[in-house]
C-alpha cells in the first residue's frame, strides 16, 4: 500500500518520499482497519520534517498525525463501530497512508459532514477543548483571553467557548484579520501590543479574566499575564513566535498566577477511552453543524504530496491529502 514516509530531516523534496509498504493484514479480534479518506498537512508534520518536533520517531517514519476514513474490516469482538462507518484516524497514528489498523475503543461512527473538516477534528479542536476545560473550572458568562486567535486552535477555542456560553477576548498580530475573527464569533478582538491589558479591561468592563491561552510565546506571554486576574492561569500550548516566552517575576509573585504547559501528544500517550469519547461527542456536532470549520487550501493526491507540503508552509489554509 502507498504511504508518504519521512526518510531524514531537511528539505521536503529531499527527505519525504512516496513509497510502498506492506499491508496491515487482517484485524485481530479487538482491531479495526480504516481506509484513510483524508489527512491534513499540519504544522507538526512540517516541524517533524525539519527535525524540530517534540517527538521524533525512528526513521523511516510514515507522516501524518490525524485524519478520517472508513472502517473496511472489524475484528470479531469489536462492538463500537462496524464496517462502512466513517471514523477518525486516532491522533498521532501515522495517517499519510492508505490503511491504518487500530484497537482504539473510543472511536465512534461519525455523522454526515464535510470530510475535510472531519479530517481536521482530531488534534486542534481537541487541544482547544482540553486547554479550555482541564485547568480552570469555567462557568457560563466567564471570560477567557487567547492569542493566536486566527490559528486552528484559536478558531476552535472560539467555537467551543461559544457553545459553552464562555466569552472570549481574542488577540491577533495583524489588524487585517480582526473582522474575520469577529465573524467567527469572537466577542472581542484586539491586536497584540503595548497596553493590551488596559485595552482588554476597557473592552470587557473590567471583567475578571481567570484563564489565558498562549500559542505565541515571546512578549505575548507577559501580555496575557498582565490581562489575567489575581490567581489566574496562563496555559502555553504553542510557541509560534519561535522565541522563548517571557514572564515578569513580580507579576507572577504578587498576583499568585500560574503558568502551565500543554502538549496534546502527552494526553494521548495514555488516553482514557471514556473521557476521549465524551470529548469528541461534544466536538463532532460542532463540525457537523458547520459551527467549527477551518480554511482549506486544496485537496492533493499522495503523488502531489510535495505540492501539498508547499501549500501548507504558507499557513493560509490546510492542504488535505487524499489517498
Residue 53 bears catalytic tag: yes
Q: Tell me the chain's radius of gyration from C-alpha atoms.
A: 20
In sequence order, the β-bridge partners of residue 146 are 170, 213
- Strands 296-300 vs 318-321: parallel, antiparallel or unpaired: parallel
| CA distances (Å), origin 86, targets 103, 154, 157 | 15, 26, 25
List the catalytic residue out of 9, 47, 53, 315: 53
Nearest to 279 by CA among 145, 86, 170, 122: 122
Q: What's the rounded Cα separation, in Å, for the pair 319 and 323?
A: 13
Concatenated DSSP letters of 118-163: HHTSTTHHHHHHHHHHSSS---TT-EEEESSTTSHHHHHHHHHHHH
Exposure b/e, 263-300, CB count within 10 A at least 16 = b: ebeebbeebeeeebbebbeebbebbbeeebbbebbeeb
C-alpha cell at 246: 517571557
| CA distances (Å), origin 302, targets 103, 297, 309 | 25, 16, 11
> Is residue 164 within 8 Å of 191, Cβ to Cβ?
no
C-alpha cell at 95: 495517517
Residues across the chain: 323
Nearest to 47 by CA among 22, 2, 12: 12
Q: What's the rounded Cα separation, in Å, for the pair 12 and 315?
A: 16
Q: Is 311 helix (H, G, I), strand (E, B) or coil?
A: helix
Residues serving a catalytic function are: 53
Amino acid at each position: 500500500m502507498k504511504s508518504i514516509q519521512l526518510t531524514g530531516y531537511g528539505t521536503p523534496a529531499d527527505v519525504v518520499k512516496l513509497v510502498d509498504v506492506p499491508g496491515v493484514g487482517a484485524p485481530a479480534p479487538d482491531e479495526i482497519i480504516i481506509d484513510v479518506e483524508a489527512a491534513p498537512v499540519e504544522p507538526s508534520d512540517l516541524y517533524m520534517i525539519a527535525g524540530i518536533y517534540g517527538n521524533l520517531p525512528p526513521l523511516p517514519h510514515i507522516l501524518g498525525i490525524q485524519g478520517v476514513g472508513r472502517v473496511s474490516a472489524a475484528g470479531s469482538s469489536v462492538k463500537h463501530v462496524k464496517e462502512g462507518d466513517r471514523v477518525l484516524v486516532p491522533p498521532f497514528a501515522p495517517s499519510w497512508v492508505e490503511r491504518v489498523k487500530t484497537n482504539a475503543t473510543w472511536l465512534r461512527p461519525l455523522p454526515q459532514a464535510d470530510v475535510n473538516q472531519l479530517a481536521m477534528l482530531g488534534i486542534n479542536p481537541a487541544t482547544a477543548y482540553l486547554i479550555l476545560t482541564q485547568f480552570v473550572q469555567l462557568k457560563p458568562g466567564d471570560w477567557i483571553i487567547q492569542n493566536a486567535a486566527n490559528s486552528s486552535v484559536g478558531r476552535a477555542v472560539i467555537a467551543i467557548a461559544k457553545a459553552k456560553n464562555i466569552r472570549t477576548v481574542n488577540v491577533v498580530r495583524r489588524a487585517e484579520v480582526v473582522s474575520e475573527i469577529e465573524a467567527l464569533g469572537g466577542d472581542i478582538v484586539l491586536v497584540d501590543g503595548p497596553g493590551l491589558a488596559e485595552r482588554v479591561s476597557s473592552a470587557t468592563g473590567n471583567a475578571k479574566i481567570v484563564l489565558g491561552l498562549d500559542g505565541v510565546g515571546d512578549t505575548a506571554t507577559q501580555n496575557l499575564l498582565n490581562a489575567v486576574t489575581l490567581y489566574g492561569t496562563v496555559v502555553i500550548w504553542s510557541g509560534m513566535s519561535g522565541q522563548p516566552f517571557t514572564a515578569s517575576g513580580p507579576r507572577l509573585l504578587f498576583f499568585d498566577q500560574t503558568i502551565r504547559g500543554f502538549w496534546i501528544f502527552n494526553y494521548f500517550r495514555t488516553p482514557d477511552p471514556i473521557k476521549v469519547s465524551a470529548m469528541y461527542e461534544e466536538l463532532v456536532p460542532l463540525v457537523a453543524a458547520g459551527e467549527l470549520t477551518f480554511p482549506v487550501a486544496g485537496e492533493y493526491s499522495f503523488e502531489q504530496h510535495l505540492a501539498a507540503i508547499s501549500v501548507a508552509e504558507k499557513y493560509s489554509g490546510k492542504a488535505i491529502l487524499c489517498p
